[in-house]
Structure 1
């Protein structure tokens, strides 16, 4: 049976980066011990969706054994150098960029501070997708867990077999074991993170 949980900004937790270079805001996380929308511990997690502010060039923290997807949601953009390869540039609301968590990654904002959204997945236990939507737009997502987050404006999530639910700016809707359509009106923006257990 699908379950729905609305998360407001008070449910988010700000945690320091592993390398001490900044702060991440966790929107939702599931420790390997079991499902929760609460904060992560020092242990491993099955998946995590978070938003981070990057104000200056620097390295990413290493997350061995994880797959990462990242996308810019505020600011101009960033360049990522992964394991010494030529830099890859991502602008605001470009498709998510995937890379292994154990890679050595150098990030450089292209024109001032940025904010990015991250989906991290325990490679042995989960796969997933990270989609950004700028209105007017609509999409459909399904998975063991789907997180819909309203970046700007209010978006509407319509779970299969349930009433439409408004998700205000800065809030998230966590859907477990189900599918839903998300509608993003003109001027609004949203993130959709879908996770499937292996």
Structure 2
């Protein structure tokens, strides 16, 4: 049997719950831990504050942070994040519509229809930053990385641990979202032969 380590223990715990999707269990558990982490004393650590200021949180995870009702912790991380966001917006928007009307509203109104598909560097930089800022999230990024590791661990245990093979054989497979995840990790990490064996193994379980 494969020795237990920091990644195999949570995977075994998730499978032992005998629920629908083990990766859903792991995602929910880790998401809660990250929400608690960012509202704890960690927000006072310089490296954490720098990352939060730069990346921020998506709407869903900001709502989860808000629902915890830790007003002081949330205020600490949002104040400096919003401050940095405003400063970045000022820097990136100051050259928009140079030599046009002084009103920012009229500037935006005059350039967007004409230059949206053009080569206006200032506009392209602003739109790129806005798009990245809208999609960035500290918790999403950490969850994605961690779930990739857990998916890899599941594949590793499937190959190396006979006891786990029995467990996953009797499981209910994965939700479609996490099935896509583990198939991506399988395609990236397994040999062609082993990947085919994995497909032959997991597809019937998914269809049961």
Q: TM-score surpassing 0.5?
A: no
Structure whose residues are more often helix by fraction: 2
Decide which structure has greater strand share: 1
Structure of higher RCO (CA pairs closer than 8 Å, 6+ residues apart): 2
The TM-score, its normalising length taken from structure 1, stands at 0.20
